[in-house]
Every structure is written in structure tokens, then in C-alpha cells.
Structure 1
Amino acid sequence: MKNSVIRQLLLAIALSTIGCGTRFEGDVMDIASNTPDVQRTSKNDLSESAPSHENTSMPHDHKQAFAYPEEVSKKWNNPERDKWQHPEEIIAALALKPGATVADLGAGTGYMVAHMSKAVGQDGTVMAIDASEEMVEYLTKRQAELGPATIVPQKVGFDDPELPASGVDRVLTLDTWHHIEGRETYAKKVYDGLKRGGLFVVVEHDVQAEHGPPKGMRLDSRQTARQLEAAGFRAEIVLESMPRHYMVVGHKD
């Protein structure tokens, strides 16, 4: 009985994140239309300091590796997710080219891995990185169906993406950035793993979104951008049409 209760609690936490997973004055680019936008605004154009939010009663630890991939994949990989996640806008922000090497940090059950695989094609590589051994095993079993790219599942710790030095063209993290502690240090490791001209795309829950992690854990888009800038990136808050999320793009110039 005790094990059953624990299992149900872990599943509830995992499912909650996908329903949910410092100020910055940066250049803003309209990714939805692929045209430059001179505005310096975003959905999170908030006050000088980060807002204070109430925490919900649902546990949502920073260092949390989700389990039970077969069960959570029913929600995380549901095609209905495309209607509000808008993966085509994320792919546009990544500006992927055939043959590129791209890493998905917090790959989970492979929702974005599949989209990125199509974008880089059979000559490309997608590093599907996660801290959960169960998720990595699940991705390993699904390598063939996640093609046509070469899929490389990789388990890492919570504090290091373990990217090859200057070895990756693009990096994505979706609904994962708020889980990472020491984000500026972590972002520097991403920076070091990117080739010159590479991009680091962070997609996170809007602080005012109805669904998402506890609001006390959410990050204002300008906080995220400042963290990337502290690691050496040139950061842009990207205009998009996702109802629950924002995007920040870090450039390694």
C-alpha cells in the first residue's frame, strides 16, 4: 500500500509539470512570423524585481527526476499538446539545419526529440539528455521511431549537461530550466558546449499562466535572459504565440 501511494504521488507530480516540465531589457525577435520586431516587450514585461507568488501544496522539487515514462508519455506526447505548445515555433527559434547536432536538455519522453529529429534529418544528431534513468531507458527503446536523425540518449546529473566542448550546434531546454539550481553556472556549461554561432533556446512557463509548476518556482523571462547573459550569451526574449510559455534565445556570438 505504501509503495502504491508513493507511486501515485510521483505520477501526479510528473503529470502536473506538463500542465504546468532579474530584470532584462533585451532585443526581441518575432519568431511566430520570422520577422524582426523592434519592441522591447514581452508577456513577462514586469516590474524591477521578480514577482512573489504563492506556492501550491503539490511538491515540485528542483532536483527531481521523473519516472514511469510509459504512463506520462500518454500526456507528454499527446498530439493535442501541439495546439498549445506550438513546437513549430520552437523549431523555428532553434533555426535547425539538416545535419546539425542538437541537444535536448530534459528530453523526457521525447516530445521535442521527434520534432528536432525531423528538422536535422538523417545526417543530423539529437542528443536526448535527461537526469532520469527511466526516461533515458525509454528513449533508448524508442530510438528507431524517433528518427530519422541519429538519437543519442544520455543520462546526466542535475548540475552538468555533459556536452562535448564546442561540439553542439543548438541546445533546447523545455519546461526544465526552473528545476535547475545554479542556473548561471549551468548556462556557462551549455555555452562551453556550443559551437561558435550556436543557440541555446529556453522555453519556460509564463509566470501568469494558469497551468504550470508552483508559481513560486517560475522565472520571469527577463530573469532567464539575465542568467544566460551572465554565462556569456547574448540573450533575446522571443515573441511567440504560445499561451502558457515564453522563449529566450541565447546566442554564442
Structure 2
Amino acid sequence: MKAILALAAASALTLSACATIGPAPADPALYSASVANPARTEELRKLDESRKPAEVLAFLGLKPGMAAADLLTGTGYWAQIMASVVGPKGSVTAFEPQEFYAGGEESKKLDALIAASPGVTLARYPFAGFAPGANRFDFALINLSYHDLYWQSEKFKIPRTDPAAFVRNLYAAMKPGAVVGVIDHVGMPGDTRAIVDKVHRIDPATVRADFERAGFRLEAESPILANPADDHSKLVFDPSIRGKTDRFLYRFRKPRG
């Protein structure tokens, strides 16, 4: 019995250590200053309370000088903040599927943000054809969008795509030792495509399995975006929960060898 208890204690210590390993963050003041960037619009600042950008980027370990990627950038929210963190010696590539960049006011807003964000380059690509190249990035983030790889929509011209191919190509694009952060709405286990179609959520276990299958290692996870009061059966756009969903935050790493 004593041997079993000792083994359990050792295992607990090991798990605790794994939860805290990873890159030492840059000066916390750098993240706060990046969020306070006067070039950011008031519309985007309103999202800060729910997204906690300074805390998220500190947890993920984004640093000055890194080559970073903002995947499915959407409004460019993260790309702009990330550019302030990596500074003039770094770079940010904001990847946006061509199907999401469909003109109109949202595209104009993204263009304006890119123009106001030195160091950010917009890269458009076919939704099912993500192929960023090899060994390009030290850091990548995909926020509230990974589930869309399991989504298909005739209305929005979103074809059925292969999430495994996306993650394989992402793995190839990351340098050895690079970090990928994934944030998404917590969904229930089950048929992933059906759940995504119905509520735009994803089971965290599915994401972990997809990334580990490609070769990434889950280095740590954080509860800073969690909301235990969220009903995982609700559509994320439901007014009662929009902007306040229960979210998981994973830090994956590409092994160095």
C-alpha cells in the first residue's frame, strides 16, 4: 500500500510539473502595452474582457522577434496585438480563407487593420487548401475557429475539408520547438461534424487527438477562459451566452527532434 501511495504521489508531482513547463514569458508589461496599442479600435477593445489577450499570450509564451501566424484571423484582433509583442524584429502572418474574405464592410475593416499594423501581412488561401510552407513560424494561434474545419456550408461556400490535412500542414510550417495555441468553445463528445454544424463547438478531446496525431505534444492547458456556467448544448451565438462561452486553451509544441 505504501508503495502504491508513493507512486501516486510521484505521478501527481510529475503531472504538476508538466502543467508548468514551457517558455518563460516576456516582460508582462510588454503584453499589457500591446493590448493598450492606440491603433486598436474601440470595437476590438470591447472583446478584451472575454478574451484576456495579455494573459493568453503570456501563457503561450509569445516573445519579441518571433515569426508568428494568426490562423483564420477573422477581424485581425489577435494579429494586431501579436505584432506589437513581436516588434520590428518579428513578423505576423494573418491567414484568412478566401471564402471568409468576401468583400463588404468586414473585409474593409480587416484591410484597415492590416494597414494600421506594421509587421502584419495578410495571406488569403482556399479554405480547403491551407499550405503555408515549411519551417516558417515560431508561434501560431487559432482562436475560436478550429471547429470550422469540421464545418460545411453551401450558403457560405465552405467546402467539406480535412482537419487532419490542415494540422499536418501546420506541423510542417512550424519550426522545431515552436508553439501553437488553440482556443475554442467547449463542446460535448459525439459526432464532431454534427455538433459543429448545430452549435459551433468542439470537444477538446477531439482537438487534442488531432494535434497529437500530427506530431504535436500538448505541453499545457489553462483555465483562464473557462466558464463552468456555460451550457455546452447552446449555440455559441445564443444571446444568453455569446461572448461568455466556456473555452479551452491548449499550448501545443512541435518537438525539437
> TM-score by structure 1 length?
0.63
Are the aligned partners of 2:217 and 2:253 in contact in 1 as well (CA < 8 Å)? yes
Deviations 1:119-143 (A, max 9, x none): 1012211101101333666434333
| Shift, 1:81, TM fit | 1.4
Structure 2 partner of 1:199: 179
Q: Distance in 2 between matches of 1:142 and 1:216?
A: 29
Instruction: Tell me: CA distance 1:214–1:79, structure 2 relative to 1, closer, same or farther (3 Å).
Output: farther
Amino acid at match of 1:99: G
Q: Identify unmatched segments of 5+ residues in structure 2.
A: 1-14, 26-39, 150-160, 189-195, 228-244
Instruction: Tell me: CA distance 1:214–1:237, structure 2 relative to 1, closer, same or farther (3 Å).
Output: farther
Where in structure 2 are the equivalents of 1:28-107 lying within 5 Å? 29=19, 77-107=43-73
Structure 1 partner of 2:223: 240
Where in structure 2 are the equivalents of 1:126-137 lying within 5 Å? 126-131=92-97, 132-133=100-101, 134=103
> TM-score by structure 2 length?
0.62
- The answer as to 2:91 corresponding to 1:108 is no
- The answer as to 2:190 corresponding to 1:219 is no
Q: How many correspondences in the alignment?
A: 183
Instruction: Tell me: CA distance 1:171–1:118, structure 2 relative to 1, closer, same or farther (3 Å).
Output: same
Structure 2 partner of 1:49: none
Who wins on radius of gyration, i.e. which is larger?
Answer: 2
Give the 3-state SS of the residue equivalent to 1:29 in structure 2: helix
Structure 2 partner of 1:6: none
Q: Distance in 2 between matches of 1:166 and 1:124?
A: 15
Q: Distance in 2 between matches of 1:227 and 1:174?
A: 16
User: Which structure has the higher relative contact order (CA within 8 Å, separation 6+)?
Assistant: 1
Q: Distance in 1 between matches of 2:58 and 2:129?
A: 26
Percent identity of equivalent pairs = 25
Q: Identify unmatched segments of 5+ residues in structure 1.
A: 1-25, 36-72
Structure 2 partner of 1:167: 136
Are the aligned partners of 1:136 and 1:154 in contact in 2 as well (CA < 8 Å)? no
